[in-house]
Amino acid sequence: MGRGDKKTAKGKRFQGSFGKSRPANLVKAKKAAKKTEEKAS
């Protein structure tokens, strides 16, 4: 769990990549999370 870990936000910052733990577009990611939250309830 550090810079070499590709699944953490810190590891993704170190690699310069994006994904689930470090979304490239934060606004879209928040909207998507809110949508899935509404579906669950």
pLDDT digits (tens, 9 = 90+) for 1-41: 888 898 999 999 999 999 889 999 989 989 988 888 888 87
Q: What is the pLDDT of residue 24?
A: 92
Residue 14 CA, chain-centre distance (Å), reads 14
Q: What is the pLDDT of residue 36?
A: 86
Q: What is the pLDDT of residue 14?
A: 93
Q: What is the pLDDT of residue 12?
A: 93
Judge whether 17 and 24 are in contact, CB under 8 Å: no
Query: Rounded distance, CA 21 to CA 1, Å?
Result: 13
Q: What is the pLDDT of residue 4?
A: 87
**pTM greater than 0.85:** no
Local structure of 1: helix, strand or coil: coil
Query: Rounded distance, CA 17 to CA 9, Å?
Result: 9
